């Protein structure tokens, strides 16, 4: 008797860079997954405006040809409504799409189960995800915003830890969440975490350390595609703060984003709502050069380097992100380029902490982490 194929129905929210890369991974891994006895049945894909769904969510799927056409249309800047060869698949828009997602979750939650995967960057998905969880479905997140919404939202998303996976919300594909979860479930209390969790800010700080002006480094990083379209989204530290909040909540801290002390690398008067981006890049960021240079020099005189880091301490409920000094021979001090590193102190890892380091950014790495998370849920199907 051949081994029965395990089928995981997948509904994807968001087909930007990470979502498209996930679809590519799913298609390219078909033969590998078949050998492992598992099949990912993609029943629907939605962007911010539309939902494409298989003709029968219980039995059919969007075939690989449609999935690749979705990737092509979206990478060309189009919408799902521009798809031409839908076959028997159906297209829903706006409020219809949200209602259809809930209908599918209601149907499959009772029947086969469903993995609802959020690869968007939207804060609007949290209400849909809460309903999906209530209906008994699993959720897999690369999107940080649902997990960094209010603590009430967080607790509604995470009542069944086995049914949620979110490795790619912190450190792209690095095994950060899995490592911490294993330690906590084995009774090894984590008491202190420190890390550099922004590849962008890691790159910027290691370049500034080489003597280059901050303004020049920011412009180069933007031209290389390392930063968000507006680099202030990175320089504000809010992305790192969201990652720190996810870690703090994982350790049991019932805190909100507003409770985290965040050091922005630019003053409020240079914020996106006050200063246009061109003014910031041409004038504003130049005025920040001297201060950063002085702080780098001061750190260097003590044998230290400057890093943009997050610190989470369980005993004191301390959670903060900002520039910190580290010895040159420490894990954060040795960090170069856009790598992420997380240093974890616990009862077992006390004198010699657990260090997790590697590429912490990139659509490919992040999507691979999402795919691994989906497969990690297969025992539930």
Is residue 144 domain-shared with residue 230, that is, in the same domain?
Answer: no
Residue 43: inside a domain: yes
The tally of domains found in the chain comes to 2
Burial (CB count <10 Å: 0-12, 13-18, 19+), residue 128:
buried
Average pLDDT, the chain: 93
Residue 289 lies inside a defined structural domain of this protein: yes
* C-alpha–C-alpha distance, residues 170 and 340, integer Å: 10
16 annotated among ligand-binding-site residues:
yes
15 labeled binding residue: yes
- Is 133 annotated as belonging to a binding site? no
Position 179 in a domain: no
The answer on whether 14 is annotated among ligand-binding residues is yes
Instruction: Write out the two tokens for 30.
Output: 């078909």
Q: What percentage of the chain carries pLDDT values higher than 70?
A: 99
- Are residues 114 and 226 both part of a single domain? no
How far is the C-alpha of 187 from the C-alpha of 342, rounded, in Å? Answer: 20
Residue 240 shares a structural domain with residue 274: yes
DSSP 3-state of 188: coil
58 close to 111: Cβ distance less than 8 angstroms: yes
Is 312 annotated to bind a ligand? Reply is no
Rounded Cα–Cα distance for residues 38 and 54 (Å) = 19
- Is residue 344 included in any domain, yes or no? yes
Same domain (yes/no): 125, 75: yes
Residue 13, domain extent: 6-172+364-380
Residue 116 assigned as binding residue: no
What is the percent of the chain with per-residue pLDDT over 90, rounded to a whole number? Answer: 83
CB 140 within 8 A of CB 165: yes
Residues 369 and 347 in one domain: no
Residue 315 confidence (pLDDT) above 70: yes
Residues 161 and 217 occupy one common structural domain? no
Q: Are residues 289 and 241 in the same domain?
A: yes
Q: How far apart are CA 201 and CA 233, in angstroms?
A: 11
Cα gap 170→376, rounded to integer Å: 17
* Residue 142 in domain: yes
Residue 150 lies in a domain: yes
Same-domain pairing of 167 and 248: no
Segment 104-150, tens digit of pLDDT: 999 998 888 999 999 999 999 999 999 999 999 999 999 999 999 99
Q: Is 156 a catalytic residue?
A: no
pTM for the model stands at 0.93
Same domain membership, residue 255 and residue 131: no
What confidence score (pLDDT) does residue 1 get?
A: 42
Asked whether residue 178 is assigned to any structural domain, the reply reads: no
Strand pairing class (261-262; 190-196): unpaired
Residues 299 and 206 in one domain: yes
Of 35, 90, 243, 293, which one is the catalytic site residue? 243
CB-CB contact of 18 with 119 (8 Å): yes
Residue 15 falls within a domain, yes or no?
A: yes
The pLDDT value recorded for residue 198 is 93
Buried b (16+ CB within 10 A) or exposed e, 322-348: bbbbbeeebbbbebeebbbbbbbbbee
Q: Are residues 162 and 193 in the same domain?
A: no
Instruction: Give the tokens for residue 305.
Output: 């380097």
What DSSP designation does 171 have? S
Tell me: do 312 and 326 sit in the same domain. Answer: yes
Mean pLDDT score, 191-206: 93
Q: Beta partners for 117?
A: 12, 140
């Amino acid at each position: 008797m051949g081994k029965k194929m395990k089928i995981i129905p997948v509904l994807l929210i968001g087909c930007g860079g990470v979502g498209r890369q996930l679809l590519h991974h799913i298609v390219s891994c078909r033969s590998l997954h078949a050998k492992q006895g598992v099949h990912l049945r993609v029943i629907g894909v939605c962007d911010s405006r539309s939902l494409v769904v298989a003709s029968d969510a219980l039995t059919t799927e969007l075939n690989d040809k449609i999935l690749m056409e979705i990737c092509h249309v979206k990478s060309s800047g189009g919408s799902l409504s521009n798809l031409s060869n839908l076959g028997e698949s159906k297209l829903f828009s706006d409020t219809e799409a949200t209602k259809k997602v809930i209908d599918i979750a209601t149907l499959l939650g009772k029947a086969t189960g469903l993995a609802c995967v959020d690869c968007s960057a939207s804060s609007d998905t949290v209400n849909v995800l809460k309903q999906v969880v209530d209906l008994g479905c699993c959720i897999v997140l690369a999107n940080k915003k649902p997990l960094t919404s209010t603590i009430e939202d967080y607790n509604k998303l995470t009542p069944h830890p086995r049914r949620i996976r979110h490795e790619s919300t912190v450190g792209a594909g690095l095994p950060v969440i899995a490592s911490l979860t294993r330690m906590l479930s084995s009774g090894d209390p984590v008491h202190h975490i420190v890390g550099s969790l922004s590849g962008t800010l890691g790159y910027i700080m290691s370049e500034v350390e080489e003597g280059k002006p901050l303004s020049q480094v920011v412009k180069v990083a933007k031209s290389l595609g390392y930063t968000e379209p507006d680099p202030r989204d990175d320089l504000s530290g809010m992305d790192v703060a969201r990652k720190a909040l996810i870690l703090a909540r994982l350790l049991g801290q019932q805190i909100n984003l507003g409770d985290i002390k965040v050091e922005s690398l630019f003053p409020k008067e240079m914020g996106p709502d006050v200063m246009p981006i061109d003014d910031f890049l041409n004038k504003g960021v130049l005025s920040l050069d001297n201060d950063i240079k002085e702080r780098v020099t001061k750190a260097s005189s003590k044998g230290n380097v400057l890093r943009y880091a997050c610190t989470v301490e369980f005993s004191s409920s301390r959670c903060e992100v900002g520039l910190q000094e580290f010895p040159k021979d420490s894990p954060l001090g040795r960090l170069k380029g856009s790598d992420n590193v997380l240093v974890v102190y616990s009862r077992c890892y006390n004198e010699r902490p657990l260090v997790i380091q590697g590429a912490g950014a990139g659509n490919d790495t992040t999507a691979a982490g999402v795919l691994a998370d989906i497969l990690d849920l297969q025992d539930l199907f």
